[in-house]
Amino acid sequence: MRLVVPLRGIVGGRGGLILGTFVPCALFCYLHIRRLRFLATRRVSERAEPIAKAEESPYYVGLGRVSQDPFDEVANPNGIIQLGLSENRLCLDLIEEWLSENLNGAMIGHGSDKGHLGIGGITGYQPHDGVTELKEAMAGFMSQVMGGEISFDPSRIVLTAGATPAIEILCFCLADPGDAFLVPTPYYPGFDRDMTWRTGVELIPVHCHSANNFILSIAALQQAFNQARKRGQRVQGILISNPSNPVGNLLPQKTLHDILDFARKKNIHIISDEIFAGSIHGNEEFFSLAKILDAENFDKSRAHILYGLSKDLSLAGFRVGVIYSYNDDVLAAAKKLTRFSSVSAPTQRLLISLLSDTSFIGRYLETNRKRIRKMYDIFVSGLKEIGVKYVDSSGGLYCWVDMSGLMHSHNVKEELELWDKLLNVAKVNATPGSACHSIEPGWFRCCFTTLSEGNIRIAIERIRKVAEMRKSSR
């Protein structure tokens, strides 16, 4: 009733008191009734409303624009070149070849199937978290991906319909609404949606800087944790991606040790998203969380690894994600939650065959790395030619490019203007760093594994034109 005082100033005495009481009450009732009416007519839930609104992040806007006007060398040479989707199309021919040679109607699976389940084996209900044979094959595959140095226990695997539900399920298991995860920036824009939409969980960015190659510092982690504590917010874990998306660097062994130590002291979880582990094209050594835990005497009960087949095997459409947890209680809960997101049975059948062919997989992984490297080399040499800087990366399907040289001033507004120019004038869709919560404006993630060599050169040329335009307009 803060209106009482000023009204008393306008209308003195008892009149003011009465008015000062009556008016706010009436206003309150009016607004309350309006809200009730609004709630009554509102068709979707409160939590769904923000989701239903159009996605405004440049990450999604860019993807949307490309789907309306996609570049095609022949059919649409003036279309938008897609550098915003970390998809790998370089080795699908290998899998296609394998399919032609190996499967021939394996969906029915008469000969290879024990118990002659035939098609009944794939039409019927399956364990929600995946059939045992696929878990075994997946454990073997993950081991191959990590260089054969670690063995994964199939009973610690929970299979989900893609990495997207995998991370959501893990959040549902580890955190309550209002709890938070610390996430080093820059990070994959999809985390904002996947981890928070329905869980009610929050993400606290922990900023990393170009000065130390975007490697997470424990001091920054500590500061973010303390600030959350002061606010009364419960931090339940740290999410790292390794190889990092969007930067493409690999976490050093020491950093992983420090993070594990930090997590132990604070009694919080550590989730390592290793979905690009098979896309490491550089020479740096990769340390999976599994490798560290295997070798050292770290407490494993709060450690979890996320994986999937969308990037390393290019099977994004098949929807196969993995939660690998060292915590039995989390495994038990996650398994129950997979009832909402299970892998389709025919896909499971196909993958059991594919992943079990270890010699093919070995050849595939090696060829995949070589082809990614080749494209990376072409892309970065193009950037060098046009004088654009980038971070040397060893993994992932993208390059973290510094386009601040093309900006008039060093802020997010300028970055978004540049993004807009690139998208709508140059017709190149790259993901601006602000969409990835980068603290330093001017960085862009450019994915190069959906393009042919020729198309990479076209993309570079288009960026060069923008660079020239920006220079001349200064």
Partner 1 sequence: MEPASVRKHSLLSMIARNGGHGEHSPYFDGWKAYDRNPFHPTQNPDGVIQMGLAENQLSFDLIEEWIKNNPTASICTPDGVGKFKDVAIFQDYHGLPEFRQAIAKFMGRVRRGKVTFDPDRIVMSGGATGASETLIFCLADPGDAFLVPSPYYPAFDRDLRWRTGVRLIPFACDSTNNFQVTLAQMESAYAKAIEANINVKGVILTNPSNPLGINLSKETLTSLLSFTFEKNLHMVCDEIYSATVFKSPAFTSIAEVMQETECNPDLVHIIYSLSKDMGLPGFRVGIIYSYNDQVVNCARKMSSFGLVSSQSQHLLASMLSDEVFIEKFLEENSRRLGKRHSRVVEGLKQEGINCLEGNAGLFLWMDLRHLLKEPTPDAEMELWRVIIKDVKLNVSPGSSFHCPEPGFFRVCFANMDDHTVEVALQRIREFVSRGNKNGDDKKHWRKRDLRLSFTSRKCDESLISPRQIMSPHSPVPQSPLVRART
CA angle, 255 then 368 then 312, to 5°: 60
Find the catalytic residue in 167, 273, 361, 390.
273
Find the catalytic residue in 188, 307, 364, 398.
188
- Rounded Cα distance, 421 and 432, in Å: 12
Long-range contacts of 462-465 (CB under 8 A, 24+ apart): 462/81, 462/422, 462/426, 462/427, 462/428, 463/383, 463/386, 463/388, 463/403, 463/422, 463/426, 463/428, 464/385, 464/386, 465/426
Find the catalytic residue in 129, 270, 280, 311.
311
- Rounded Cα distance, 322 and 308, in Å: 5
Comparing CB distances to partner 1, the nearer of 87 and 402 is 87
Comparing CB distances to partner 1, the nearer of 88 and 404 is 88
Task: Give least dist CB 138 to partner 1, A.
Answer: 15
- CA within 13 Å, CB half, 135: 19
Tell me the DSSP string of 339-355.
GGSPPPHHHHHHHHHHH
Distance of CA 222 to the CA centre of its chain: 23
Comparing CB distances to partner 1, the nearer of 109 and 441 is 109
275 a catalytic residue: yes
3-state helix, strand, coil split of the chain in percent (to 5) is: 50, 15, 35
Comparing CB distances to partner 1, the nearer of 244 and 338 is 338
Query: What backbone torsions phi and psi does residue 148 show, to the nearest 5 degrees?
Result: 75, 5
CA angle, 63 then 69 then 70, to 5°: 75
Comparing CB distances to partner 1, the nearer of 135 and 369 is 135
Task: Give least dist CB 179 to partner 1, A.
Answer: 8
215 a catalytic residue: no
Task: Give least dist CB 170 to partner 1, A.
Answer: 10
471 a catalytic residue: no
Task: Give least dist CB 396 to partner 1, A.
Answer: 17
59 a catalytic residue: no
Find the catalytic residue in 275, 280, 460, 463.
275
Task: Give least dist CB 94 to partner 1, A.
Answer: 11
Active site residue ranges: 188, 273, 275, 311
